[in-house]
Structure 1
Amino acid sequence: MSLSGSFLHRNDQQGKYPPSYYHATANSHDTLPHLQGDLQFDVCIVGAGYMGLSSALHLAERGYKVAVLEAHRVGWGASGRNGGQVGSGMRKEQDELEDLVGLDHARQLWDIAEASKATVKSLISKFDIQCDLKSGILHADHKKRYVRHSKAIAEKLQSEYDYQHIRFVDGEEIREMVGSNAYHGGTLDMDAAHLHPLNFALGLSDAARSLGAEIFENSQVLNIHKGLAGNKVKLETAQGSITTSQVIMACNGYMEALIPKVAARVMPMNNCILATEPLSDDAAKSLIRDDVAVADSKFVINYFRLSADKRMLFGGGENYSFKFPSDIKAFVTKPMLEIYPQLKDVKVDYAWAGTLGITLNRMPYITKIEPNILNASGFSGHGVAMATQAGQILAEAIDGQASRFDVMEKVPTHIFPGGRHLRWPLMVLGMFYYSLRDKL
């Protein structure tokens, strides 16, 4: 199998982080070596985002000799560019999951999702990762007719799942909480959280390396050779190779043609974020009273929060091209001013874009490609917690404890209509439809 690598390099310079607020405020970190020569490891992981780094960390803890191959830099992809929200549950609401997979399976998925938040918080505490962790996510309804469902889902989680960290928020309170007339109600989840995503990824990298994992940056996998003697797998880069017994694919939105089965089910999608100049304490409090993160109910979602130095970090907008917008700042300023017109004269200091991986039903695609090649990807904007947890789950599976892997693998997944080559134009039509629906 071979990889053209075009999407990995379409919008970014080789080995360089985007000019984001996250990169500007990143903790000190070393440039790691690229792979040279032919090496052997117990497990080789492709991709140094949350999933790959968490897998490396948890496998190294179990005594495995682990290598991570990263095409660019640690946390270079979505893991270092996202909105930083550590959400509860899966990407689909719990009532939808019950309809999709049945009550028992849905409860197992809830338990895994709850564990994902605990895993993130535990790793931050255990390895002293400085990443501005804060509590709370407010889910905001941009249409009045959605409010009834928000109230029902909060009551359902309280009564049926014994989840007491969430409560319903009515229209009057939500307008006070976010300083905007754009929303009519929602839910506040105080066990959810938000953080500096790149610093979390860098912290996972440091932790994994402290346990003996080896990470190679600027080491794009070009070919994978299966079925070698002893059922080994060989992964080739431009200047070296790794022969291994087990492979974990942690590429998310950057899979392309490397594993066609995954690429048919996980599509890359671009999203954009800006960071304003620092705001005064009073101005920041007037925008998000309780310093929680916010995500709204639009299909083309708006998500925003305050940084540690009180900047507005706002993500949103619709992008129907493989290319990032030519003017990212203007692109994201438009939806921000729809929510916060009072920010029209505030300077925007940073604006950047990134690529995430989405699935058709927005549930992660976790599977065995081969008996010794595992994949977890398609976190669909819910990856800070779930990708980190998936790394632990895949490490467990390699170590012979596959119960949680089996729960995730049983979730139905679907090939995008049109296959890998036609899925994008069909997805564009679908996104256009839902963006129109958001406006009606």
Structure 2
Amino acid sequence: MNATFKSYASYAGDGSYPDSYYAASRNIIRVPKVLEGDVSADVAVLGAGYSGLSTAIHLAELGYKVVVVEGAGVGWGASGRNGGQIVNGLNASLDTIRRRYGDAAGAFVGGLVQEGGKIIRRIVSQYGIECDMKQGNIYAAYTPAHMKELEHKKALWKSYGMDDHQLLDKEAIRKLVNTDAYVGGMLDTTGGHMHPLNLVLGEAKAFETLGGVIYEQSPVTRVEHDAERPVIHTARGRVMAKIAVLCGNAYLGHVVPKLVSRVMPVSTQMMATEPLGEERARSLIPSDMCVEDVRYILDYFRLSADNRLIFGGGTVYGGTDPADVRAKLRPNMEKVFPSMKGVKIDYAWSGNFALSFSRVPQMGRIGKNTYFAHGYSGHGVTGSHLFGRILSETIHGDASRFDQFEKLPWIPFPGGRMFRAQYSTVGSWWYQFKDAFGL
């Protein structure tokens, strides 16, 4: 391990992947290339997660010379440790977007919320990425009030041209997810799930086949974003480019002070059981689809390719890890699947996503030629791939979709940097109260 990397990347420890099921089952082992000296490029991308690599792939396909700089390893952050669920939409509902920003904004976002999933499938197919891709996701309802929300969501999405959803009563959802916990739900046939770390590792390999270069274990120390030609500095080198794209998301830290107040890191937790065997695994989720409930503090789960139950949920504002992930998640898992009581948990891990106060992801520009994208608020798998394409369009000369997102107002977290986590925690208590009492 590079000694300089250890000194500068405290956010990533020694740069090793977390002890997750995904890291243990990844199918590509990379040999990191550390940035040393001066490098030039058409475009420099900070961050080798989904946003950065989607941007890089789309630009490389257009013939640009692109360099990606990553402080740890490819997919070390949220891209390599998330729930692996391809769920369409943003955290903020289309209803919320329409109400806050007007009918035109609602129509704009409604026309593109399924695009991210299509981008993922196109890249997977075109570059032969092996990431256990499966089809279909289910929204699960605990209460009649949740079902009314889903009924409204289905009608609203249909009004924007998306007619891919099927409402499920208790009997229908029980055939797909074998539990008595839910009163119903909704099936999205265009959703799906996959192995998230193998997806991002495959995207890195695809980018490199297009002539792109990725420097890993090269933590960024500062960014000259107000310069005509932005410069990304690391401990041992720098990348000088015509254009820079910042995709550090929850792990950008204070490297770019102008972006610090826009988002807050939030921790979510996951665990993976021992292999259950195909018969037992399918007895839990006969459909082999991914599932998330519709509570504010939600649970999400799916089966892995080797028949483990991967179960996630919970949040910790400010990005700190709970003392015992297993103890936190096990009661929720056993509530949904009582037959899992006492099952061995082989892996448990945590990781941060970037939350925006409005729950709407942000895309913008600081300086003349430096762009950023972040704040997917827990729905980043599809949104990050979409934003990567939009950023590439912008750099290539068509900023029409970028301009629509850039002009959406953003709100700093109340309480500032010091008290934003405490403020958000207090606010979340109200929603937890509503979840607990089915309101």
Shared fold by TM > 0.5?
Answer: yes
Correspondence for 1:164: 163
Correspondence for 1:351: 348
Shift in CA distance, 55/318, structure 1 to aligned 2, threshold 3 Å = closer
**Does residue 387 in structure 1 map to residue 384 in structure 2?**
yes
Deviation at 1:49, TM superposition (A): 0.3
Shift in CA distance, 94/227, structure 1 to aligned 2, threshold 3 Å = closer
Correspondence for 1:128: 128
Deviation at 1:144, TM superposition (A): 2.0
C-alpha separation between the residues in 1 aligned to 2:166 and 2:322?
A: 37
C-alpha separation between the residues in 1 aligned to 2:407 and 2:317?
A: 31
**Does residue 9 in structure 1 map to residue 6 in structure 2?**
no
State the superposition RMSD in angstroms: 1.9
Contact 2:265/2:318, CA 8 A, preserved across alignment: no
Number of equivalent positions: 432
Shift in CA distance, 8/408, structure 1 to aligned 2, threshold 3 Å = farther
Deviation at 1:232, TM superposition (A): 1.6
Shift in CA distance, 129/213, structure 1 to aligned 2, threshold 3 Å = same
**Does residue 427 in structure 1 map to residue 424 in structure 2?**
yes
Deviation at 1:104, TM superposition (A): 2.6
How does the TM-score come out when normalised to structure 1? 0.94
C-alpha separation between the residues in 2 aligned to 1:90 and 1:342?
A: 33
C-alpha separation between the residues in 2 aligned to 1:369 and 1:321?
A: 24
C-alpha separation between the residues in 2 aligned to 1:318 and 1:232?
A: 39
SS of the residue corresponding to residue 295 of structure 2 reads: coil
SS of the residue corresponding to residue 107 of structure 2 reads: helix
C-alpha separation between the residues in 2 aligned to 1:227 and 1:146?
A: 47
**Does residue 93 in structure 1 map to residue 96 in structure 2?**
no
Deviation at 1:337, TM superposition (A): 1.5
C-alpha separation between the residues in 2 aligned to 1:226 and 1:266?
A: 19
Contact 2:9/2:219, CA 8 A, preserved across alignment: no
Unaligned 5+ runs, structure 2? 1-5
Q: Runs (4+) of structure 1 moved beyond 6 Å? A: 5-8
C-alpha separation between the residues in 1 aligned to 2:321 and 2:240?
A: 36
C-alpha separation between the residues in 1 aligned to 2:161 and 2:430?
A: 37
Contact 2:8/2:219, CA 8 A, preserved across alignment: no
Correspondence for 2:191: 192
Correspondence for 1:46: 46
Q: How does 1:250-261 map to 2 (within 5 A)?
A: 250-261=247-258
1:367 pairs with one of 355, 364, 369: 364
**Does residue 291 in structure 1 map to residue 288 in structure 2?**
yes
1:262 pairs with one of 259, 264, 276: 259
Deviation at 1:437, TM superposition (A): 2.6
Deviation at 1:324, TM superposition (A): 1.3
Shift in CA distance, 402/320, structure 1 to aligned 2, threshold 3 Å = closer
Which 10-residue stretch deviates more, 276-285 or 196-205?
Answer: 276-285
Counterpart of 1:134, as a letter, is K
Deviation at 1:227, TM superposition (A): 4.5
Which 10-residue stretch deviates more, 46-55 or 419-428?
Answer: 419-428
Deviation at 1:90, TM superposition (A): 2.3
C-alpha separation between the residues in 2 aligned to 1:409 and 1:265?
A: 13
**Does residue 243 in structure 1 map to residue 240 in structure 2?**
yes
Deviation per residue, 1:186-218 (Å, 9 max, x gap): 210011111110011001101111111110001
SS of the residue corresponding to residue 171 of structure 2 reads: helix
Correspondence for 1:105: 105
Taking only the aligned residue pairs, the percentage that are identical comes to: 38
C-alpha separation between the residues in 2 aligned to 1:101 and 1:6?
A: 44
Deviation per residue, 1:264-296 (Å, 9 max, x gap): 121100011000111133322221121110011
Contact 2:226/2:366, CA 8 A, preserved across alignment: no
Deviation at 1:320, TM superposition (A): 4.7
Which 10-residue stretch deviates more, 397-406 or 282-291?
Answer: 282-291
SS of the residue corresponding to residue 346 of structure 1 reads: coil
SS of the residue corresponding to residue 222 of structure 1 reads: strand
Counterpart of 1:387, as a letter, is S
Contact 1:151/1:186, CA 8 A, preserved across alignment: no
C-alpha separation between the residues in 2 aligned to 1:7 and 1:392?
A: 31
Counterpart of 1:104, as a letter, is A
Shift in CA distance, 322/86, structure 1 to aligned 2, threshold 3 Å = closer
C-alpha separation between the residues in 1 aligned to 2:55 and 2:265?
A: 22
Correspondence for 2:59: 59
